[in-house]
Structure 1
Amino acid sequence: MSTETARTAPAARAAAPGALNGKVALVAGATRGAGRAMAVELGRAGATVYVTGRTTRESVSEVGRPTETIEGTAELVTAAGGTGIAVRTDHLEPEQVRALTERIDRDHGRLDILVNDVWGGDHLLDFDTKVWEVELAKGLRMLRLGVETHLVTSHFALPLLIRRPGGLVVEVTDGTAEYHREQYRGNLFFDLTKNAPIRAAFGLAKELAEYGGTAVCVSPGFLRSEEMLGFFGVREENWRDAVAKEPHFAIAESPAYLGRAVAALACDPDRARWNGQSLSSGQLAVEYGVRDTDGSQPDGWRYFIEVVHGGREATAEEYR
């Protein structure tokens, strides 16, 4: 299918309400941002979605954002048409993850979709800092939060997922394999952390193939997360006001964009064609006829590769 054909494809290719009825998903790291949006959109398609994280209405994680909770995410999932179930889980604690997967097994006896989206390390990040200048504890904590958590979760969740053919694992990162081949992320610990899910999806694709499973890695573009909107002092309603401060924010996308793309992927009976690949929200949106909340189809990573780093004379609007 050509890009032009895909851009005019009917929205029916996106996830339809009820398309995931009877399916059970686990979105690990669903407190806010892309994780919350993916959970909501899987719920909108009818799935039962277990949402995990460390921030609840009773306790706050080291990220320090008390207004965004897993209970809030679960309620949004249910309001969208699915069934949201919040389970406080620190994915660095193996026994907590074991208990989580045992609960899913007791309650449903199946797991169809695993989304590994645990992160929460932005507050540890110092860009443009040499590895010998980084505070070691911060760097190692980033690796634990963004890599070890994914491995622990896969270790306990995948035996449940492979009981039935057709299971889907979605590793979530920041940046595509294509982008990372040419660009260094300015902090070695961060660079390793954001490359690891790409390789994890490749490896899991090999391990799941004999069970009829699919593993991919996805990345949003310049994400209008709650934290990023707060950084620029704007809200979702007036996000374009931040473009004056950061011109490249003109390519920004809402968390719902990736959520819709992942839900469409989960509903695709031919999704195995993506097995082991690194995918972006913009790429999936074109393939599935998904659009962002403003009706656009931003392709953030293509914009950064071709315009920001490649020197092409173009505006962000040409990539929406």
Structure 2
Amino acid sequence: MQQNLHGKIALVAGATRGCGRAIAVELGRAGATVYVTGRSTRAQRSEMDRPETIEDTVDLVTEAGGEGIAVRVDHLVPDEVRALVARIDAAHGRLDILVNDVWGGDDYAEWGKPLWEQSLDGGMRMLGLGLHTHIITSHAALPLLIRHPGGLVVEVTDGTDEYNRKYRDSFFYDLTKTSVSRIALAQSAELKPYGGTAVVVTPGFLRSEAMLDHFGVTEQNWADGAATEPHFILSETPTYLGRGVAALAADPDRARWTGTSPSSTSLAQAYGLTDVDGSVPDIWRYFAEHGSAETGPIDPAGYR
């Protein structure tokens, strides 16, 4: 990608792994200075107990030719978020791109149980990690972002707005992921008078570090995971969405996207992008045309 975000300051909240990491790397590749935040550092892991760290993400940003700055932040703690924004303000006097990708709720998801049989403590923790963190971060960061016209807010969720009309089979997961879309819609309205843009984006079936581990595969032999979960043949790398978000951020006409909910595929098609293997996976169109109940092998032709 052409270096066309030089001079832009980005904050990727929740950039330790997955889509947040990939978005940070691609923003850096395009020339932005990227603040990389999360709770997992080389000195201390978060409750997810994963090996990825914010310092590792910064190394990847540097390898891509960008400038990354790692700051450990618990985005559930308003004082820590306010201190982060004050640091960005003191160093640069502006914030051009805010990406809210904080999650960390996988361990609290309970599937196939009604609300009253799920852990209330676990469910409320999920809402905190996946929803309150986004609100707290935007509350602190938006006054800096609107200081200059043209600011961009990207909320990251799971599922297109169309797909999420169906219940996601877990009360707290469903509520968290659909509410992120409403946060984006609200911000699109509130940023409009300031020349700002807000969108909510979603990957498809994401080959995150945790998902590769779950299926016992690596990025080199990822397709073997389809033997366990047929839809995995339509999966995508985090870079796919990362490329799309970087292209969106660099688009001088990005305001046309405000209030919308593009998928990684929608962005790829609009900007002429591909995943790292040259494909254009589109699991959401597959679900729309075939449903999501298949148990046998899936032919990916026409969907990647």
TM-score bracket relative to the smaller structure? over 0.9
Aligned partners of 1:55 and 1:88 also within 8 Å: yes
Whether 2:62 is the aligned partner of 1:102: answer: no
State the secondary structure of the residue aligned to 2:117: coil
| Number of aligned residues | 302
Q: What CA deviation, in whole Å up to 9, does each residue of 1:186-230 have, x standing for no partner?
A: 111110100011111110010000000000000000000000000
State the secondary structure of the residue aligned to 2:81: helix
Q: What CA deviation, in whole Å up to 9, does each residue of 1:142-161 have, x standing for no partner?
A: 10111100000000000000
Give the structure 1 partner of residue 97 of structure 2: 113
The partner residue of 2:244 within 237, 254, 261 is 261
Distance in 2 (CA, whole Å) between partners of 1:261 and 1:57 is: 29
Give the structure 2 partner of residue 11 of structure 1: none
Aligned partners of 1:250 and 1:317 also within 8 Å: no
Q: Cα distance, 1:314 vs. partner?
A: 7.4
Give the structure 1 partner of residue 175 of structure 2: 192
Distance in 1 (CA, whole Å) between partners of 2:56 and 2:129 is: 22
Unaligned stretches of 5+ residues in structure 1: 1-15
Give the structure 1 partner of residue 146 of structure 2: 162
Q: Which runs of 4+ in 1 moved over 4 A?
A: none
Distance in 1 (CA, whole Å) between partners of 2:189 and 2:235 is: 33
State the secondary structure of the residue aligned to 1:50: strand
Whether 2:4 is the aligned partner of 1:19: answer: yes
The partner residue of 2:262 within 251, 259, 279 is 279
Give the structure 1 partner of residue 112 of structure 2: 128
Distance in 2 (CA, whole Å) between partners of 1:55 and 1:310 is: 36
Q: Cα distance, 1:121 vs. partner?
A: 0.5
RMSD: 1.3
AA of the residue aligned to 1:73: T
AA of the residue aligned to 1:55: S
Distance in 2 (CA, whole Å) between partners of 1:251 and 1:317 is: 10
Q: Cα distance, 1:17 vs. partner?
A: 3.1
Aligned partners of 2:110 and 2:170 also within 8 Å: yes
Give the structure 2 partner of residue 305 of structure 1: 288
Whether 2:21 is the aligned partner of 1:36: answer: yes
Distance in 2 (CA, whole Å) between partners of 1:234 and 1:165 is: 44
AA of the residue aligned to 2:16: T
Distance in 2 (CA, whole Å) between partners of 1:314 and 1:99 is: 49
The TM-score with structure 2 as length reference comes to: 0.97
Q: Cα distance, 1:102 vs. partner?
A: 0.2
Distance in 2 (CA, whole Å) between partners of 1:285 and 1:212 is: 24
Q: What CA deviation, in whole Å up to 9, does each residue of 1:29-55 have, x standing for no partner?
A: 000000000000000000000000000
State the secondary structure of the residue aligned to 1:132: helix
Aligned partners of 1:248 and 1:316 also within 8 Å: no
Distance in 1 (CA, whole Å) between partners of 2:6 and 2:205 is: 31
Unaligned stretches of 5+ residues in structure 2: none
AA of the residue aligned to 1:51: V
Whether 2:221 is the aligned partner of 1:238: answer: yes
Aligned partners of 1:303 and 1:316 also within 8 Å: no
The partner residue of 2:202 within 219, 222, 230 is 219
